[in-house]
Each structure stands twice: as C-alpha cells, then as structure tokens.
Structure 1
C-alpha cells in the first residue's frame, strides 16, 4: 500500500478514481473523482492539518510560514502538493494534492482516431507541439501519451517546475527546478534548466509548462535543431496561446521587435493542441491547429484548424521536419 502523509487520507489515496485531494482548512475534505469535484466524509482538524504539512515538507527541505506562505512539494510517490497557509489562506491552511498516475497512458485512450493519426505522425515527423488548455484539462496527461510515439533511440530531456511527467520513452533525463533556500540562495529556475539541457545532447526537449522567460530558451532550442520538442501553456484556445507566448517573449526580450517575435514563433511551433474538460469531468481534445508561415505585414500569427472535435478539417501544409517521415495524408474517415 502506498505511503500517505496522513492516515486519515488513506481511503482517498486507495481510491484509484480520485485524481486530486483538496483540503480547504479544517473540516471536510474534497476530492476530484472521475473528473468531478465531490465532498467526502473525511474530516481533518487544525492539528492534523499542521501535522500533514510538516510530514510533507520535512523530507524535502521546504518550509512554509508567514514570511513564505505558499510552497510546492512532491510526495515520495510523485504526487504534487501545493500548500498555502495564513495569512494568505484566510480560513486556515490549504493543501492541494494532485496524485501521480503510475504507468503509461496510451494516446488512443485520450484521443479520437483522426487525432491519434495526426498526432502520431506529428511526433514521428519531429513537429514542435504546444498543448494548451485550462488547469486540470489534461495537458500533462496528453504530453505523457504523445511520448509513446518517440523513437527508442532518442534522448529526451524533460524540464518541470514540479516533476509530473512520466514519459513512455526509453531514454529520458528528468530535471526539476528548485526554489531558493531560506537565505534566498540556490534557486535553479526552469530557464536555467532549459539552457543547461541544450548542453546535454538532447534529441528532444520537453518543458512541462511555459509560463515566463524560459520561453526564450525554448524557442531557441526549437530553432536550432532540437525539433520534436513539446510544451504546455495555460490558454483558452490556440489563438490565445500564441498571444500569450508572444507576450512572454516580449517581456523577456524587450528589445526584440514584435515582427521578429512573430517570425520566430511561426517558424518554430508547428501544431497547437487544445484540450478541455467538460462539466461532467470528461477530458478531450477540442482542436488541433497548424501554425501558418507569417505573411508580410500580418497583424499576428495565423492558425489553421486541422481537426475539430475529432473531425478532420484540412491536411497539414507543413512538411515533416524529419527526412525519414513522409508527408501526411488522412487515412481515417
């Protein structure tokens, strides 16, 4: 039986349908079960909650207090934990545990036939892919599934703020960012790790999430021979995702003209996959869009829908980045 940070939570961890455990201060615990939030009959008091936080943070050398009221950590089984304490958390300490799923996810279990065909070809042809969607939509799960199409001889370096990826690839190096210690020293950022990964002879680089200045190194990697790289971004749709990435690049490299930023993005990102979660908790791919070459004087990078809710809309115009892969043609209805 897996180790849990507090015995009272054991029944929740033993339920394989539970994907997140949410403690909103003393009282009843919430869970996400089968994609739907549910209130449980599990109760925790203030003392138990503080003991839980101690047991989570102690082994990993992290701390949380009034001066640093927010912290991320990882349980021994890989589950991700976010903790917020007063005065930021008004009603008492809050603990959010996103459970780590062992084993590999098959792409066919997440996508419809047309989506599986297109995405499998895209990975094998070394397309650069950005997965976008809201929090909890299934972006990380889809990244894990995409990796099943990576060749066995390819070296993949993954970079995350908090390690969650478990890629179904033979040769994987996992890197995780590190916050500063109590003296404000020793921080290793995602941007630092992306820069370092370029010296590690990667065939592909996978960044768990782009959210800041690391986008500069990621775009640089995609443009300098590290084709077939993946990442995720929080966005409502593919168009919003491109605008967000554009804004991040401009914020990180203020001297770059907007036209140059758009040329870089249009050249390095091939596909954007939009995933969403329905009100019933079902996660699915809503759209797969292809990034188009930047037209002279265009106000922004344009996109072209290839698949919408599992129905093919058009054929990719971009050719494969790998010389070993033939151009794409639809073979599903």
Structure 2
C-alpha cells in the first residue's frame, strides 16, 4: 500500500496471510483503517441511521465507497487483496468487535486473551501463543469492551472496574480495567462451542475411558447428585453439558449461572442468570437468590453452573430434599479439597458450628465427585471419579472407582484405571456397566 507505512509501499503477494499480519501491526495501517472507519460513520450519520440499524448490504457498500474516496484523496494504489483486507477490518470495526472478530470466527481457537491494546494471545489445543493483531490504542479497546457489556445490561467503569459478561453466541467474557489493571484493559474470552462435545468425543479424544462414560451416564439417569471439580479452564462446564444429555426429556430442569453458557438440549429447561448491582449498589440478584427461587418453581433437577459462595447452602438443601440428580461445578484441586471448600462456603452462608455436622450434611447430599484437570500438554482429562459414601470418624469416606495414572509425571500421558468393581451406589444404578473385568485389568 503506497504511502501507508512510513511512505513505503507494502504489497500483499503470495504469502498473503503473513503480509497481512505484518501490515495490521503498523501504525500507518491503523491510521488508515480508522480514517476510513470515520468516513463510514459520517456517511451513515448523513443518512440519519446508525450502524446497529443499517442493513448489512448498506454497510458493505458504505465501506467500499469510503475506501475509494480515501484512496483517491491520499493517492493510494490498492490491489484487490489489500482492498479486501481493509474492507473486512473496517466492517468489523463498524458492526463487530474489531480485531477480535476474526479470532472469534476461528474454530481452532478456544480462548482469546487481551493484555492491553497491543498484546493479544490465543489458546489452540491447550497451548497459548501470541497473534499479530492489535487495537489502535486504549480508547479503541475500551470502545470494544463497551460493545461487549452494554447489550446484556452490564457496565464497566472506574466504579466497577471488573465484570463478567457474555457474547451473543454464548462465549464467556471477563473484563478488568484500570485502576485495578495496571497495564491497561484486560479481556479474557472463553469461546462458546457451536457444537457441544458428544459423549463419544470424550472417549475418542482420550478425556475419559469407555467404562467411565458408562458409569457416569448411568449415574445421571439414576438421579445421583454429582459435583464436578477442577481448576480454571479444565473443562468442568463442558463435561456438565455432556452429562446433562443423559437427563430424560420429561424432566423439568432449572439452570443457574453467572454468565449463561450451558447448552442443555432438553425442551423443558428454565435458564436463570445472576445480575450485578446497579450504580447505587442495589438490585443485585445473586446465585443464592436464584437457587432459593428455583426451589419454588417445581424443578426436577437444579443445575448450578458454579458453586462459589453462600448458594452452597441452598444447593445442598436441594440435593438432599427431593431434587435428586442435581449437578454443579466448583473450583478445587481434588475431591477432598472440594469438600473443604464446601465447608467454608457453608460457613459463609451462615451454617457454622460443629464441623462433623457440616460434613454429615455434605455426605448426605452428594453421591458422585468427578475431578477434571488440564494436563501439562494441554489435554483435558477426567482424572478421578469417586463416590462419597459417608463419614469415617471425622473424615469423608470416598470409594474411588476410576483414576488416571500419569506416566511420566507432568507429561499429560498415561492411562485410565478402573480401581473398584463394586460401586457403593450400585443398587441405585440403572444400566451401569459391569466393572469387574475392567477392574481386574486396571489393577493388574
């Protein structure tokens, strides 16, 4: 593009992707793109319409006209590839999310991480890498952030410098801005899978064994209460989505989330989402409020996207008082760590007192605990499936049915093992696989 980068022409040739990537990072290209962007907005304003209400064909035509006008005024000789690149990126600025738009459309990307206006990273196959995309400046990034949070009634400003939100396609977004983000606005996007992982995908990709899948599907159908534990990005919600597919169509389900991302396929699903406080600190609706209300809505099962606060009290009440088959996720490094966190959260909810009483309450509410981990090689695996069978003195009694043995350590490689042939809740399971042969192989 003659005159676009410090007065030196840059031409996109056979290596189009590489040249385009280099071009995007230059100040000259950014200035040109936003000059054309401003021309498009002026055209729309002259017609008395906004980018949100204008037809897509009008936006495309307006972008092409603006490029032509700007090129003629500045004496730029644009070839077809250069013109196409500018047109696509200006259109993303007008009606999309700017530099994030092509990353959101790339099916190979799972996470997008923005560290200030000039550094963008993506995760592919569990591995992070930088991409040659950038925002013009902090103001540009803040404008895109406002486009993300405004449509769902959220806000982010100096008074509320962080927020959880979601995109129209269901992708989960977290935003942190100054003054608490010292190096500029930070955006983390967990992309929504357009096609949810199926049960056999877990076996095919090595995320669980066939015996695990058989047992867990039977546990869901048999209405055992299930808690899924793991770290950030370990695949808890994805696993919850998959297991929910085994719930019968006739059941009434209520889901409760901070940012709606579950993809339940049943027809009788009620989706509830928390709401943050407004500017004066009122009108907040938290997860505990929603669980309490859900209990009055005649649910067959309650599915809680994540347990992280005082809502643990109501969740365990639901699990132990007639809402069998309920499911939830929570952050924990192991099954026993999860119980310790639950005890702490029950204390936050006002259930203090004798630790043994709290442990008995937990043990009477939860039957199955699943641990998922993201391994060192980026693979996500179910590393443990255990039954919570009660208490032995002051400690929880766990019957571990399945595990993943990693060899060598920190490699992400290894094999699944069937560790027990006798499920404690076997008498309640419908259609569970016979684990005796698998256990013999696993213990050999």
Normalising TM by the smaller chain, what interval? over 0.9
State the Cα RMSD in Å: 1.9
**CA contact under 8 A between 1:70 and 1:85: conserved in structure 2?**
yes
Which residue number corresponds to residue 360 of structure 2? Answer: 263
Partner SS state of residue 211, structure 1? coil
Which residue number corresponds to residue 88 of structure 1? Answer: 180
TM-aligned CA distance change 1:113 to 1:326, over 3 Å: closer
Which residue number corresponds to residue 62 of structure 2? Answer: none
Partner SS state of residue 119, structure 2? strand
**CA contact under 8 A between 1:320 and 1:326: conserved in structure 2?**
no
**CA contact under 8 A between 1:210 and 1:232: conserved in structure 2?**
yes
> Shift in Å at residue 116 of structure 1?
0.4
TM-aligned CA distance change 1:292 to 1:328, over 3 Å: farther
Moved over 4 A (4+): 319-322
Once the two structures are overlaid, the 10-residue window that deviates more, 78-87 or 163-172, is: 163-172
User: Aligned equivalents of 1:246 and 1:60: distance in 2?
Assistant: 34
Q: Out of 145, 151, 154, which is 1:62 matched to?
A: 154
TM-score, length of structure 2 as denominator length: 0.71
User: Aligned equivalents of 1:99 and 1:46: distance in 2?
Assistant: 23
TM-aligned CA distance change 1:132 to 1:5, over 3 Å: farther
Partner SS state of residue 119, structure 1? helix
TM-aligned CA distance change 1:196 to 1:29, over 3 Å: same
Once the two structures are overlaid, the 10-residue window that deviates more, 206-215 or 56-65, is: 56-65
Q: Out of 398, 413, 419, which is 1:313 matched to?
A: 419
Which residue number corresponds to residue 196 of structure 2? Answer: 104
User: Aligned equivalents of 1:53 and 1:223: distance in 2?
Assistant: 42
Pairing 1:51-200 to 2, within 5 Å after superposition: 51-110=143-202, 111-200=208-297
User: Aligned equivalents of 1:65 and 1:313: distance in 2?
Assistant: 52
User: Aligned equivalents of 2:296 and 2:369: distance in 1?
Assistant: 27
TM-aligned CA distance change 1:64 to 1:327, over 3 Å: closer
1:57-83 CA-to-partner distances (Å, cap 9, x unmatched) read 222232212221111111111111111
1:50-109 CA-to-partner distances (Å, cap 9, x unmatched) read 111121122223221222111111111111111111110000011111111123321221
Structure showing the higher strand proportion among its residues: 1
1:153-178 CA-to-partner distances (Å, cap 9, x unmatched) read 11111001111111233321110000
TM-aligned CA distance change 1:172 to 1:244, over 3 Å: same
**CA contact under 8 A between 2:303 and 2:328: conserved in structure 1?**
yes
Once the two structures are overlaid, the 10-residue window that deviates more, 150-159 or 40-49, is: 40-49
Query: Is 2:145 aligned against 1:38?
Result: no
Partner SS state of residue 279, structure 2? coil
Partner SS state of residue 73, structure 1? strand
> Shift in Å at residue 28 of structure 1?
2.4
User: Aligned equivalents of 1:200 and 1:285: distance in 2?
Assistant: 33
**CA contact under 8 A between 1:19 and 1:98: conserved in structure 2?**
yes
When the two structures are aligned, how many residues end up with a matched partner?
A: 328
Which residue number corresponds to residue 329 of structure 1? Answer: 434
Pairing 1:200-239 to 2, within 5 Å after superposition: 200-239=297-336
Q: Which has the higher contact order (CA 8 A, sep 6+)?
A: 1
Q: Out of 8, 14, 19, which is 2:105 matched to?
A: 14
Unaligned regions of 5+ residues in structure 1, if any? Answer: none
> Shift in Å at residue 133 of structure 1?
0.5
Structure showing the higher helix proportion among its residues: 2
TM-score, length of structure 1 as denominator length: 0.93
Partner SS state of residue 387, structure 2? strand
> Shift in Å at residue 320 of structure 1?
5.2
Unaligned regions of 5+ residues in structure 2, if any? Answer: 1-55, 57-91, 203-207, 405-415, 439-444
Partner SS state of residue 146, structure 2? helix
Q: Which structure is larger by alpha-carbon Rg, 1 or 2?
A: 2
TM-aligned CA distance change 1:207 to 1:36, over 3 Å: same
Partner SS state of residue 165, structure 2? strand
